[in-house]
Amino acid sequence: METLHEQNVSMPRIGDKAPEFEAITTQGEINFPVDYAGEWVILFSHPADFTPVCTSEFITFAHLEEKFKTANCNLVGLSIDGLYSHIAWLRTIKEKIKFNGMKNMEVKFPLIEDISMEIAKKYGMIQPGESKTQAVRAVFFIDPVGTIRAIIYYPLSLGRNFSEIYRALIAMQTSDKFSVATPADWNPGDDVIISPAGSCGVAEERMESHGELECEDWFFCTKKLAKEDILKGILKN
Ligand code: BEZ
């Protein structure tokens, strides 16, 4: 049986450098991730043009593009379709399709053509148990130095949760900027988690301190971080 390597398939992981490629897109050629150095980028795949779940996702992403831009984050889409299919589909979306009250949505971010599946295979977007010919709904969060920071995969039938995609982006930016972690279901304005005590002395201090920290136990301490401070720290004006 052919190995993944022989099939030219890889599964990038969190912490890896984003695999490089050049591609033709609906916004011209791109050199990835070099063209996005210094900014975040979300590289996502969808199974096919002219399909309903994908259409609902593109309308939603187009609607949110400015919000992601304000968070210093670019969007780049990909499917195993050709450029002319992409162009025709995006024109149809703008001219004809309404979803959740959104209409006339223009997709301004690049959509990669990947008929050869070369890029989809590099990013582990083809998962043969789900489909051998269509990419699953993958979402790669890539940071300003080109490192993959988070990956979410969804099956073909499941449209993505865009609030979660945005929340994850802001949470990672908050962790970077303020050296904190974020607990379950965190949103800006909620308490953040500080790194666990690294010594018995610090553990003791934390349990005794009545300062800005609130400790459930020595290993579980939170503090306040105002939403305005987060937004001022990470969002562009
Ligand atoms: C869709 O986008 O609607 C879709 C695409 C592939 C398989 C199932 C649904």
pLDDT digits 0-9 by tens, 30-86: 999 999 999 999 999 999 999 999 999 999 999 999 999 999 999 999 999 999 999
What pLDDT is attached to residue 144?
Answer: 98
* Domain chopping of the chain, boundaries: 4-161, 179-234
Q: Which of 54, 73, 215, 221 is the catalytic position?
A: 54
Percent of the chain past pLDDT 90, that is, above it, reads 88
Fold of 4-161: Glutaredoxin (3.40.30)
Ligand 1 pocket by Cβ (under 6 Å)? 47-48, 51-54, 134, 156-157
pTM of the model: 0.95
pLDDT band at 196 (very low <50, low <70, confident <90, very high): confident
pLDDT at 7 over 80: no
User: Tokens 């690294």 — which residue?
Assistant: 198
Residue 157 alpha carbon to ligand 1 centre in Å: 6
Nearest to 215 by CA among 189, 186, 193, 182: 193
- Residues 158-182 pLDDT 10s: 999 999 999 999 999 999 999 999 9
- Residues 136-146 pLDDT 10s: 999 999 999 99
Residue 25 alpha carbon to ligand 1 centre in Å: 21
Residue 65 alpha carbon to ligand 1 centre in Å: 22
CATH of region 179-234: 3.30.1020.10
What pLDDT is attached to residue 6?
Answer: 63
Question: Does the annotation count 200 as an active-site position?
Answer: no
Nearest atom in ligand 1 to 54's CA: 2
pLDDT at 210 over 80: no
Residue nearest to atom 7 of ligand 1 (CA): 156
Residue 81 alpha carbon to ligand 1 centre in Å: 14
Residue nearest to atom 9 of ligand 1 (CA): 157
Q: Hey, which of 44, 45, 46, 54 would you mutate to test ligand 1's pocket, going by the most ligand atoms within 8 Å of its Cβ?
A: 54
Nearest atom in ligand 1 to 48's CA: 5
pLDDT at 223 over 90: yes
Burial 191-216 (b: 16+ CB within 10 A, else e): ebebeebeeeeebeebeeeeeeeebe
